[in-house]
Amino acid sequence: MKSRNIFLGLLYCMSVAFSCTYEQPEYNPIRKPGLDDEQQNPFPTDPEEPKEDVDLNEWELLWADEFAGTDADLDAAWNSENGPAYHILCSRWRENAVISNGTLKLVNKKESRGGQDWTAASLTSKTRFKYGYFECRYRYANANAINNSFWLSTNVVEEGKKFEIDVNEGKYPNKIATNLWDNSANPHIGASKTFFYGSEPGYSIQLETPITTQRIRFSSNNSSYFHIREFRLYNVLASYPDPLSETADRDVAGLQNFATPATIRVSGSLNNTDPYSMVDGKITTSWISQAEGEKWIEMNLVAPSKIGCIQFVNGWLDNGNWTGLISDYKLQYHDGNQWVDIATKNVENDFNFADEFHTYGLEWTKEYIIYYFDRREIRRIENEFCYSEAPVILSSAIISWDGPVTDAIDGTQMEVDYVRVYKRKE
């Protein structure tokens, strides 16, 4: 039996949304053709429902592909996409789907074919299903700008509406993206929620040994642009405020924020957003970095100051959930001669879903759609229109909205251990 992975603890769960402006409107960035930019979440959720783990003793295996045979066996159970896909950056072909050593590889290649510069693969099961528990164990391609997807979609409607359920549109290194689409609408209506494992919206770095400096530097190699909503440099005290507090600078007696009057230099700004938005005391405003290259902030304080805590807030807040979180950062201070590290973080080292296999699951009933990661529930939505049979789809897609498209993509692969479909025991 193939090995199982131990569930990685869920640190923060965030919904997908970001913007190119620093005053924050409601916004849905899913780059799907025809989707309105101003898109509210139309599907109800039930946050009071208890979260439950999957107990396979309650389920009976209905269908499975363990990819234990030869490459030729793939065609017995799956139909392959063969041709261009102009809503993404790659065409998709049967040759890019390969079975070897007990797993399925969906291979991404830099090659001109079908009028596009990249190729990938997409497979649709020949069997269609209605309700049950669906599980796929796989690992991501080891590069940005790739959707590593396990999903269901129907164009044949017996009841309800056309729909798409994205169990996971995974993105390197640590993102799980769950979506539900009403594809009968024009434009399509979607409700999306993304989970960033290992990342946090608010950081509070309390220094065991306070530092005295006049210059602080923050840098990140995050693959895309990001928001810094607040950046704070506090004096030495016994306690500090919650970094996500909207009144942080006033929450603790004697608190002094040296960043507020500082002079700020940055590596660049998307849409000319104001760097001083990160020191205005408002989480609703932000500086947005440029999209490519190293992103950095340098703060020159009014005078040498003794700092006991550094805080910053990053990401995009939508309906109480955070997304667009940075994957790495480095904090440094200048000692008069050189930059000295204070703190560093890189979630790729600890939460890299391209390194290890994980399971992504869906319980689909007439009443609910429930998403799972490593058999732990992470999201639940009421089912209002997904009532028709649908096939299972495995696909890799090269995309323009998840970091730069580079040669690092060439030769990467979404690797699938198995796909299994269960029905509940009677």
**Structural domains of the chain in order of their starting residue, each with its CATH number:** 56-197+352-424 (2.60.120.200), 202-349 (no CATH)
Q: Which residues contact 250 (CB under 8 A, 6 or more apart)?
A: none
For the chain, 426 residues long, give each residue's pLDDT as a single digit of tens.
Answer: 444 333 333 333 333 332 222 222 222 222 223 222 222 333 444 444 456 799 999 999 999 999 999 998 999 999 999 999 999 999 999 999 999 999 999 999 999 999 999 999 999 999 999 999 999 999 999 999 999 999 999 989 999 999 999 999 999 999 999 999 999 988 888 888 888 898 999 999 999 899 999 999 999 999 899 999 999 999 999 999 999 999 999 999 999 999 999 999 999 999 999 999 999 999 999 999 999 999 999 999 999 999 999 999 999 987 777 889 999 999 999 999 999 999 999 988 889 999 999 999 999 999 999 999 999 999 999 999 999 999 999 999 999 888 889 999 999 999 999 999 999 999
Six-digit token pair at 344?
């560093």
| Rounded Cα gap, residues 408 and 394, in angstroms | 22
Max distance between CA atoms of the chain, in angstroms, equals 73
Token pair 């991501």 is found at 140
Map residue 131 onto helix, strand or coil.
Answer: coil
DSSP E strand boundaries for 262-350: 263-266, 287-288, 295-314, 316-318, 321-323, 328-334, 339-346
| Amino acid, single-letter form, for residue 360 | Y
- Distance between terminal CA atoms of the chain? 27
What does DSSP assign to residue 97? E
Q: Are 179 and 267 in contact (CB under 8 A)?
A: no
Q: Smallest Cα–Cα separation from 129: which of 393, 395, 417?
A: 393
Sheet holding 163-170, edge to edge: 78-80, 122-129, 390-398, 146-154, 163-170, 175-182, 189-196
Query: pLDDT digits over 317-354, tens only?
Result: 877 778 899 999 999 999 999 999 999 999 888 899 99
Query: pLDDT digits over 288-306, tens only?
Result: 999 999 999 999 999 999 9
Q: Are 35 and 17 in contact (CB under 8 A)?
A: no
| Rounded Cα gap, residues 19 and 416, in angstroms | 33
Six-digit token pair at 158?
């017996």
What does DSSP assign to residue 74? H
Six-digit token pair at 98?
């390969």
